[in-house]
Amino acid sequence: MSNSLSLKNLPAPVRLLIRPMLVAAIGLHVLFLFTPLPSEEKPKKPDDKENPVKITQLPTAKPAARAKLAKPALPKIDRPRAAVNAPPAPKVPATPRSGDAGRSTDTTTKDPFAAFPHYPGSVGGFQGLENLRVANGASLVSVVAHFRKALPIQKFTLSDESEPNTFKVSKDGVSYFLSVVEDGSQTFYLLGADKLDKAKLAAIKEGKVVGIPPELGNIAKAIDATYATSQDDSATSLDVSEGGSFFEPDKDNPSNEVYVDGISETRIIGGQPPAQVYQALQATALKGFESVTDAGTYGGGSLYELKKGKFTGGLSLVPGKAGGTVAVIWTKKPN
């Protein structure tokens, strides 16, 4: 006999309840198996119509330009120029004669007479006159012959004057007189603005003509070593208000102008007033003189008298029309 529970062994009412439930369970299982599973739901696109985005078009017109700010004008500052240690200007005879009015030179311009062919063996500085030379042992004829031959070779122009053994020598627009004089056993020659004859030579030997001390030439050297300078030997460009006080017509060529008698050298000093230039020279070049005194005014500026022994010279410091100072060095005190 089987111990397993059988529906037949169940009471009739129970069997009636189990069958319908069994059928219902089977039906539910079949329905579940054949029912398709729902697929993954795709995200819903936002509806642009629900939340419209407002697009604003930027203006295409060019915006107004910004006003430019005016650049402030800076004050002009005149910076002092650095001192230029210019080489000393070559020494030339007083009163240079310019053959080209309006021509200006500076300290870097070569002096056309720097290579002047002096007579071999001659000695300069007789009686303190720098440009008066002695050709010891040479005859007048040999000295004259030397210059007639040597000067054209060096591109100098030589022309005879009315006085015997006297010539006018020119180069690059600058002219000087050359005088050759024989006195006893010596032959002298002078290259300068003035002519030499036996009467003047005799006065020089007697001491009536005073030589120029080297201290006068040291003034221009001190100025060149301290300041940025330029030279000028023409009335049309010398920057002074009273240029007529320093120049006169050239007797040999009236269309040109030359320094008045007694002027040795000039310097144009930019950016420095006369009082400051004088103060600087007091501590340098002017110390070599025995006395330096205020001699009033000349040509629109201060004039100082310079003395050493029998020599009396002068120094003019004149304000330039465009500023700065014009220094004029005199071999004698101007009238």
Which of 16-30, 295-309, 316-330 ranks highest by mean pLDDT?
295-309
pLDDT of residue 255: 75
Q: Is the pLDDT of residue 90 over 50?
A: no
Confidence of residue 68 (pLDDT cuts 50, 70, 90): very low
pTM (predicted TM-score): 0.45
Domain boundary among 205, 227, 242: 205
d(CA 10, CA 128): 172
Query: What are the structure tokens assigned to 94, written together?
Result: 């007083």
- Kindly state whether residues 176 and 279 are assigned to the same domain: no
Domain boundary among 164, 190, 205: 205
Percent of the chain with pLDDT over 70: 65
Instruction: Report the 10 Å Cβ neighbour count for 204.
Output: 20
Supply the range of the domain harboring residue 300: 97-110+212-330
CATH number at residue 193: 3.30.310.80
Mind giving me the DSSP string for 73-118? PPPP--PPPPP--PPPPPP--SS-EESSTT-EE-TTSPPTTTT--P
- Kindly state whether residues 222 and 101 are assigned to the same domain: yes
Residue 145 lies in a domain: yes
- Kindly state whether residues 104 and 143 are assigned to the same domain: no
- Kindly state whether residues 194 and 219 are assigned to the same domain: no
Residue 250 lies in a domain: yes
Residue 73 lies in a domain: no
Q: How far is residue 28 from each of residues 20, 36, 38, 73, measured CA to CA in Å?
A: 12, 14, 18, 102
- Kindly state whether residues 147 and 247 are assigned to the same domain: no
Residue 177 lies in a domain: yes
Residue 85 lies in a domain: no
Number of domains composing the chain: 2
> Lowest mean pLDDT: which of 65-69, 156-160, 230-234, 238-242?
65-69
Domain boundary among 205, 230, 250: 205
pLDDT of residue 37: 63
Question: pLDDT tens across 146-200, in order?
Answer: 999 999 999 999 999 999 999 999 998 888 999 999 998 899 999 988 899 999 9
Residue 174 lies in a domain: yes
